[in-house]
Amino acid sequence: MGQRLYVGNLPFSADEQQVRELFSQNGRTVNDVRLITDRDTGRPRGFGFVEMGSSEEADGAIRDLNGFDMGGRALTVNEARERTGGGGGGGGGGGGRGGGGGYRDF
User: Model pTM greater than 0.85?
Assistant: no
Q: State the pLDDT at residue 72.
A: 97
Residues 58, 54: Cα–Cα separation, whole Å: 6
Cβ neighbourhood burial of 80 (10 Å; 0-12, 13-18, 19+): middle
The share of the chain scoring above pLDDT 90, in percent, equals 75
pLDDT at 14 over 80: yes
* pLDDT for residue 93 is more than 80: no
The pLDDT of residue 65: 99
pLDDT in tens, 61-91: 999 999 999 999 999 999 999 878 655 555 5
Give the pLDDT confidence score for residue 84 in this predicted structure: 80
